[in-house]
Structure 1
Amino acid sequence: MTTENPKRFKVATVSRLLGVSRSGYYTWAKHHVSARKARDEEIAAVIGRLRSEKGAFFHTYGSPRMHAELRMGHGFRIGRKRVERIMRERGWAGAVKRKFRFRANPATSEDKVNRNFHVPGPNRLWLGDITEHHTAEGKVYCAVVLDAYSRLAIGWSIGSRMTADLVVDALQMARWRRFGVRGAIMHSDHGSQYTSWAFTSRVHEAGLIASMGSVGDCYDNAMMESFWSGMQIELLDSQPWATRRQLGTAMFSWIEAW
């Protein structure tokens, strides 16, 4: 048995030995589809059908998620790299999250907290932030001022618009409840409501020390994020909300009673 590579034989010699014409061989070679190529076409057809399926979101899938769908949803035994190659060859790509460019408002303050939310007593560090949630009527916004020592919401305001008045009202409630407090750090993010003239002037007027975390970093106000997470789990995601009034009343009850 010869071990020579068949590719070394001339087409004319092989054709004569096999009893076929050279033109017949070239016709076969031109139109012949390998088993692997045929399998690729089969997989591509399924991917193409999924991507065009109405009411689904397969057109947003990249190769990792499409690979998982083919394996678990359609029983294909296939590697992720093969799916990636098939999609790349046909120009199919998943949806890419848009890059968000943060634009800091010029009226900002130095970060005087540096993620250290442990304070020895009340009225040393106050935290401010806003959250939003949908109802059938539209969004409801809630601004809160939190005392870092007790983690108690000492000021809050609820409304249908995210304006500077919302955060000013929450601060005013905190000042009323902690009457006479001066020198506390008032820490927030760089939202336009907190960098507004209305809010910053009230902070200075109250004798508080303004502080802001770095732009776009939730960890710089992590205690507030934890507060909102609790509200999200225990209240906001507990049911669909029909009206702004219904959700606003529920927010009031959760903050003041719960």
Structure 2
Amino acid sequence: MGSATPTWVSDITYIATKEGWLYLAVVLSIQTRQVLGYSLADRMPDDLVERAFINAWNACLGLYGVVFHSDQGRQYASSKFRFALAKKGFTQSMCRKGNSHREWLRSTPRYTAPGLFFVGTRDGC
């Protein structure tokens, strides 16, 4: 049985291309495993995660009270991003330092498919 509280998770990865690196921020629903929003850039702008969040929120208009989980990266910890979450009625959740949010996901009852969430790592997770 899934959690009654909608939970979104987000991460940033990088992709090697012939023209250089691309940075990808993705927002996923824990309950549905669906990609709700993403943002892609050729550098790591401060608003990369905010754009991914806004894209996800626009795809799910009217959804409030969601838990938004991420690591403690500077993009997620910025006051601008925290304000964007609060403005939409979201509660921010972050991993403790040194704890991967991938481990947090694995500990949730609905985590069943390694490699489903994150791209570009050696073990597919």
Give the TM-score normalised by structure 1.
0.40
Tell me the equivalent position of 1:175: 57
Tell me the equivalent position of 2:97: 215
CA deviation vs aligned residue, 1:84-139 (integer Å, no higher than 9, x gap) = xxxxxxxxxxxxxxxxxxxxxxxxxxxxxxxxxx7345x71010110112223221
Deviation at 1:161? 1.4
CA deviation vs aligned residue, 1:185-232 (integer Å, no higher than 9, x gap) = 01100000000122111000000011001113221345696411xx44
| Separation (CA, whole Å) in 1 of partners of 2:14 and 2:104 | 19
* CA RMSD in angstroms, aligned pairs only: 2.2
User: Aligned to 1:187, what secondary structure does the other structure show?
Assistant: strand
User: Aligned to 1:227, what secondary structure does the other structure show?
Assistant: coil
| Separation (CA, whole Å) in 2 of partners of 1:125 and 1:172 | 15
1:132-143 superposed matches below 5 A? 132-143=14-25
| Separation (CA, whole Å) in 2 of partners of 1:166 and 1:207 | 20
Tell me the equivalent position of 1:119: 2
- Distance change (3 Å), C-alpha of 1:133 and 1:191: same
Count of aligned pairs: 113
The match for 1:161 among 20, 29, 43 is 43
Tell me the equivalent position of 1:66: none
1:227 is matched by which residue type in structure 2? F
Give the TM-score normalised by structure 2.
0.80
Unaligned runs of 5+ in 1: 1-117, 234-258
2:13–2:25 contact (8 Å) kept in structure 1:
yes
2:14–2:120 contact (8 Å) kept in structure 1:
no
2:13–2:120 contact (8 Å) kept in structure 1:
no
Instruction: Report % sequence identity.
Output: 33
- Distance change (3 Å), C-alpha of 1:139 and 1:221: farther
- Distance change (3 Å), C-alpha of 1:137 and 1:216: farther
| Separation (CA, whole Å) in 2 of partners of 1:178 and 1:149 | 14
Q: Does 1:129 align with 2:11?
A: yes
User: Aligned to 2:35, what secondary structure does the other structure show?
Assistant: strand
The match for 1:227 among 103, 117, 120 is 117
- Distance change (3 Å), C-alpha of 1:216 and 1:133: farther
**Structure ranking higher on relative contact order (CA contacts 8 Å, 6+ apart):** 2
| Separation (CA, whole Å) in 2 of partners of 1:120 and 1:209 | 15
1:143–1:157 contact (8 Å) kept in structure 2:
yes
User: Aligned to 1:194, what secondary structure does the other structure show?
Assistant: helix
Unaligned runs of 5+ in 2: none
1:16-35 superposed matches below 5 A? none
Instruction: Give the number of the structure whose residues are more often helix, by fraction.
Output: 1
